[in-house]
A and B are shown apart, each in its own frame.
Chain A
Amino acid sequence: MATLFHGVGAALTPFSASNKLLLPSPKSESRGAIFLHRSDARVNHAFNLKPATPNQDLFIPNAVATKRETSTKSGHELLLFEALREGLEEEMERDPRVCVMGEDVGHYGGSYKVTKGLAEKYGDLRVLDTPIAENSFTGMGIGAAMTGLRPIVEGMNMGFLLLAFNQISNNCGMLHYTSGGQFTIPIVIRGPGGVGRQLGAEHSQRLESYFQSIPGIQMVACSTPYNAKGLMKAAIRSENPVILFEHVLLYNLKERIPDEEYVLSLEEAEMVRPGEHVTILTYSRMRYHVMQAAKTLVNKGYDPEVIDIRSLKPFDLYTIGCSVKKTHRVLIVEECMRTGGIGASLTAAITENFHDYLDAPIVCLSSQDVPTPYAGTLEEWTVVQPAQIVTAVEQLCQ
């Protein structure tokens, strides 16, 4: 996938200004040569792209999402679930084909308040409350997407989407391919997952490990209000089916985000903290455990480079590769289980591609292969803790 948008703090005024002038028309295609700055620093000239709606795809000069200079306006503070809602609302405003469906998303406002206020504003057809049948309302979303809408399907908890696996893998992922490219499925499937606070095994699932093999879908995981809003908007604008993984415990994170409109790239990783000694790859909630460990590590004299991979499928091997070439040591910290998780695939991908640059075997810290227990202390021990991350880095850097 070509990366169309790159997250930037300041240089967005031309984007937002022109976007306000023109109304999106559903089926127009503006094919134009666009200069495309890719994150691997190549510039593709005359790359013909077919945007979903006209003229919003102005290219942004800066590639990397991390350094967001706060603009002259100071931005506004909000919580992560509000950032998701803001992104969703902006996209619904901009494109009348965007609609939301899920359980209790309408007047109730969503179980995590991500869709609060949207039903009152856009009506209960565009923000649709569905009966409890995940496979079927995901199927409905796929049918609606194939006929021209841009639905966002909310799973009340990612674990419930296991019921939708048939539709997601057999239809969502495949129909664009098996129809010979005739039908696109620009659907976004999102919901909270991960280990929460004593939610029990069935509500503490990490679906990214089950979905990662499905060809045809993209997976991204948000971790901050800034990237939550940006990724939500990018996912809605993407022509591919995108699964956006949120985390139950991150919904109340507060951050100041820019007032200007911005969209992030779906395929890029985020450099959280540049460093020299070791590359720590992580995503979602584990990013915070890693940063906590990083504080300890810095005090002990280490200089870890922390990357939030964000894009779970496909991996941003360019950013990761640059980092590995610099530090020669990799630690992966994830919440997935040891067997078959994102960390396992990432380990394989890095070993295959960057084997020569590694001074030590890749270390992957993951949860154990057990259902998440309910008891608070037991639950805590199934998730990777900062102390374990510190120990792992110390061992890796010997």
Chain B
Amino acid sequence: MWKSNTIFNHFKSTLNFSLLSSRRFASTIAQNPSTFNSIPHANQVIDFPGGTVKFIPEMRFISESSQERIPCYRVLDDDGQPLANNFVQVSEDVAVRMYNNMVTLQIMDTIFYEVQRQGRISFYATTIGEEAINIASAAALTMDDVIFPQYREPGPLLWRGFTLQEIANQCFSNKYDNGKGRQMPIHYGSNKHNYFTVASTVATQIPHAVGAAYSIKMDKKDACSITYFGDGGSSEGDFHAALNFAAVMEAPVIFLCRNNGWAISTPTSDQFRSDGVVVKGQAYGVCSIRVDGNDALAIYSAVQAAREMAINEERPVLIEALTYRVGHHSTSDDSTKYRPTNEIEWWRLARDPVARFRKWIERNGWWNDMAESELRNSLRQELLHSIQVAENLEKPPIADIFNDVYDVPPSSLREQEQWVKDTVKNHPLDYPENISA
């Protein structure tokens, strides 16, 4: 009895108790209208880290989702007709060039997929359905902007002048490959084109882009960095920390999420429960926009605006491009196993970004059927020729196994290299012949 009294007295004297008592006091006051105005609890605020926060007596939970989904910006409708006149105008040259590159990407993907099926390359992943995101975003950037791709973005490389022969060389891992035969097909990289080598690891490139933006900011260059990733990639920890960093550091970086509905066989409903990726921007203090990923003009406008914001206002921007992965995840996947064929076909035909853009440029008088067949034929020829050349070139030399691990190989690696060379020399029949010296 005595003990509980002491405890009660102790409790009475603590801050908690006095807070409790003042709240009780406030609620009793509320019942008394004449004294209501003397305690302006509606105006009580406090300075927490980050700014003033208003207090409210109601317990309000923020809903996990808003009533309406964030709307999606588009310029052209499904039929290629502009919805309004307020979009960034694109000249005939740029538009035709964009279209050419989109078709190139489409044909390149179709043919290389077949080449893999024929067993001539080991692996390939197509970008079918996402040509607008690939090409239009690159068209809105300059050559000084550095690109950190995931692996479904060869478009910017094509736009920047990477040739089909170079693509073929990389896929066949021959001695003219930029990467010296060290990476899987489609893992392109070219410092000349400011396009950083693709790594298979998901989302690791996102913090790299932030680091590059930091470097650009320090150098005060008129440039930004851009990184691409998918809906699946946005689940990785690196995505979240990178957005957070970019906001804190005020780094000029564009985060472009290709929300194509699928991460291999995982649909977005199993990937996250938020309204897509665009709402995550605000959580980190990054401004964001949702764009129709199959509308080349919308992507072009959005990326151009984002680039200006990023560079002039020194802030990151998140763009979520809604699209659909028409192809399989890669040649190791058969997506008909986990999604209906008619869904795939509908997106392939009715929502093809290339066809949609074609309608717009044809309506402007910048394109026609004859130009189309000429383009497709010549591209096909060029591709088949490049593939043939690439296939017959020698593979990289054994020395390239050991170079570039360090700037200069240490003696241990030189020893290991000699051992391999000796083995190949002594057992020539066990090793392929088309290795250059």
A289 to chain B, nearest CB (A): 29
Q: Which 6 A-B pairs have the closest CB atoms?
A: A143-B211, A143-B208, A139-B207, A136-B241, A133-B241, A140-B211
A95 to chain B, nearest CB (A): 13
The answer on a CB contact under 8 Å between B214 and A183 is: no
* Complexed CA–CA distance, A99 and B219 (Å): 12
* Complexed CA–CA distance, A145 and B214 (Å): 10
> Given the interface contacts A171-B199, A183-B196, does A178 sit within 8 Å of B182 by beta carbon?
yes
> Given the interface contacts A131-B248, A133-B241, A240-B406, does A139 sit within 8 Å of B208 by beta carbon?
yes
* Interface flag for A377 (CB, 8 Å): no
* Interface flag for B237 (CB, 8 Å): yes
* Interface flag for B268 (CB, 8 Å): no
- In the complex, the chain B residue whose C-beta lies closest to that of A129 is B248
* Complexed CA–CA distance, A174 and B201 (Å): 11
> Given the interface contacts A131-B241, A182-B189, A218-B406, does A167 sit within 8 Å of B207 by beta carbon?
yes
Chain A residues in 8 Å Cβ range of B180: 180-181
Q: For the complex, count residues of A whose C-beta is within 8 A of B.
A: 51
The answer on a CB contact under 8 Å between B207 and A137 is: yes
> Given the interface contacts A1-B407, A183-B189, A184-B407, does A133 sit within 8 Å of B245 by beta carbon?
yes
* Complexed CA–CA distance, A180 and B192 (Å): 13
A210-233 CB mask vs B (1 if < 8 Å, else 0) is 000001101000000000000000
Chain A residues in 8 Å Cβ range of B403: 181
The answer on a CB contact under 8 Å between A131 and B244 is: yes
Residues of chain B at the chain A interface (Cβ within 8 Å): 146, 148, 177-180, 182-183, 187, 189-191, 196-197, 199, 201, 204-212, 214-219, 225, 237-238, 240-242, 244-245, 248-249, 403-412
* Interface flag for A57 (CB, 8 Å): no
* Complexed CA–CA distance, A170 and B198 (Å): 12
* Interface flag for A263 (CB, 8 Å): no
> Given the interface contacts A135-B238, A148-B219, A170-B199, does A180 sit within 8 Å of B178 by beta carbon?
yes
The answer on a CB contact under 8 Å between B199 and A140 is: no
The answer on a CB contact under 8 Å between A170 and B216 is: no
The answer on a CB contact under 8 Å between B208 and A146 is: yes
B225 to chain A, nearest CB (A): 8
The answer on a CB contact under 8 Å between B211 and A141 is: yes
Given A130-B245, A170-B201, output 6 extra A-B contacts at Cβ < 8 Å.
Answer: A99-B218, A131-B241, A149-B214, A177-B405, A182-B179, A182-B189
Chain A residues in 8 Å Cβ range of B238: 135-136, 139
Chain A residues in 8 Å Cβ range of B189: 178-180, 182-183
The answer on a CB contact under 8 Å between B201 and A166 is: yes
- In the complex, the chain B residue whose C-beta lies closest to that of A126 is B218
* Complexed CA–CA distance, A146 and B194 (Å): 11
Chain B residues in 8 Å Cβ range of A133: 237, 240-241, 244-245
- In the complex, the chain A residue whose C-beta lies closest to that of B249 is A128
* Complexed CA–CA distance, A50 and B212 (Å): 23
Contact of B182 among A2, A137, A177 (CB under 8 A): A177
A148-180 CB mask vs B (1 if < 8 Å, else 0) is 110100000000000000110011001111111
